[in-house]
A and B are shown apart, each in its own frame.
Chain A
Amino acid sequence: MKEGMSLIVKTVARWVVGFIFLYGIYITAEGHLGPGGGFSGGIILACSYILILIAYGRRFASRNLDWRIARIMAGVAALSFLALAMLGMIFETGGNAHFFDNLIRKNLPGTAFHLFSGGNIPLLNLALAILVLASVFTAFVLLAAVRFWETRGKKFFSSLEDGP
């Protein structure tokens, strides 16, 4: 337990991080009913992982969410956003198929002002949240791991990402 910050910071972070994560899920899930949405929720989720990373150090944080997995998550989320947008183009049987067609709402309208309403807007919010979570977390891990130092006139540069 040499890595990371002091015991006080670690304990408080352990208590708080669950609530931050839950709040991020709430903001994402009710984005079509009130203020919130995928972008804000995704950044709050990323903040919970960044808190773990800062308080406990990189080695402990990579057990929760490794950045190599996070960058794959970002790609999958971006592709699923595109797939949800093209859903109406592919499966629409009527004549008016178009991009960002809300096909799910036409078949499963749900009740307005309830969680299950709005068709694919909550799903798009979810994809956006995962994308923002993964990309902000990966960028932060990469930027925070950069180190420069100089020994005997030689310049050194270390980061997590290996070049070709």
Chain B
Amino acid sequence: MIIYFLILLLFAVGLYGLLSQRNLVKLIISMSILECAADLLLIAAGWRANGSAPVIAAGQDAGQFALSSVDPLPQAMVLVSIAIGLALLLLLTAIALRLYHEYGTYDIGEIRRLRG
């Protein structure tokens, strides 16, 4: 149970960074940390104590395998989530570079002031 609380604490650290920081790079980093915590929560929910990885060995019975393996469904979801996180980061980096070109700063408070 303490694992879940630590994952929530990691999520809280990411949320705090997202709310309190003003540098665009710090915001990107906070979003990445939030994503890490969410991924870890999903994988931990599908973990089986002393289980095996969801790869069936040659000659293993499928029913026996289903009783000893961890859940493959959260792993597939998290794999898609990691891919989407990479795409999001590339896009956010491009947006940050464009904003830096427009306003000459990464500070979102400064950007808001320059926009008027």
Touch test A–B (CB under 8 Å)? yes
Question: Given the interface contacts A37-B79, A39-B83, does A143 sit within 8 Å of B90 by beta carbon?
Answer: yes
Interface residue SS majority, chain A: mixed
B9 interface residue (CB < 8 Å to A): no
Would you give the shortest CB distance from A144 to chain B, in whole angstroms? 10
B55 touching A143, Cβ below 8 Å: no
Q: Which of A111-136 contact B (CB under 8 A)?
A: 112-113, 132, 136
Chain B residues numbered 42-82 whose CB sits less than 8 Å from any CB in chain A: 53, 55, 58, 79, 82
Residues in chain B near residue A139, CB distance under 8 A: 90, 94
Identify A113's interface contact among B58, B79, B94, CB under 8 A. Answer: B58
Q: How far does the Cβ of B77 sit from chain A's closest Cβ, in whole Å?
A: 13
Determine, out of B20-28, B96-104, B106-114, the stretch whose residues face the partner at the interface.
B96-104
| Size bin of chain B's contact surface | 10 to 19
A154 interface contact, C-beta 8 A:
no
Interface centre among B93, B100, B101, by most chain A C-beta atoms within 10 angstroms, is B101
A43 and B104 CA atoms in complex are apart in Å by 32
Chain A interface, number of residues (Cβ within 8 angstroms): 17
Interface of B is mostly: helix
Q: Does B6 contact A (CB under 8 A)?
A: no
Query: Quick check: is A157 within 8 A (CB to CB) of the other chain?
Result: yes
Q: Does B86 contact A (CB under 8 A)?
A: yes
User: Smallest distance from the beta carbon of A118 to chain B beta carbons, Å?
Assistant: 12
Establish whether residues B53 and A35, one from each chain, have CB atoms under 8 Å apart when the complex forms.
yes
- The A-B contact count (CB < 8 A) is 27
Residue of chain A at shortest CB distance from B53: A35
Interface residues in A123-164 (C-beta closer than 8 Å to B): 132, 136, 139, 142-143, 146, 148, 155, 157
Contacts of B90 in A (CB 8 A): 136, 139, 143
Q: Does A34 contact B (CB under 8 A)?
A: yes
Contact A143 B97, beta carbon cutoff 8 Å: yes
CA distance A18 to B76 in the complex (A): 30
Known contacts: A39-B79, A136-B86. The answer to whether A143 contacts B104 by CB under 8 A is: no
B interface footprint on A58-84 (CB within 8 Å = 1, 0 otherwise): 000000000000000000000000000
Which residues of A line the B interface, CB within 8 A? 33-35, 37, 39, 43, 112-113, 132, 136, 139, 142-143, 146, 148, 155, 157
- 18 residue pairs bridging A and B, Cβ less than 8 Å apart: A33-B55, A34-B55, A35-B53, A35-B55, A37-B79, A39-B82, A39-B83, A43-B86, A113-B58, A132-B83, A136-B86, A136-B90, A139-B90, A142-B94, A143-B93, A143-B97, A146-B97, A157-B101
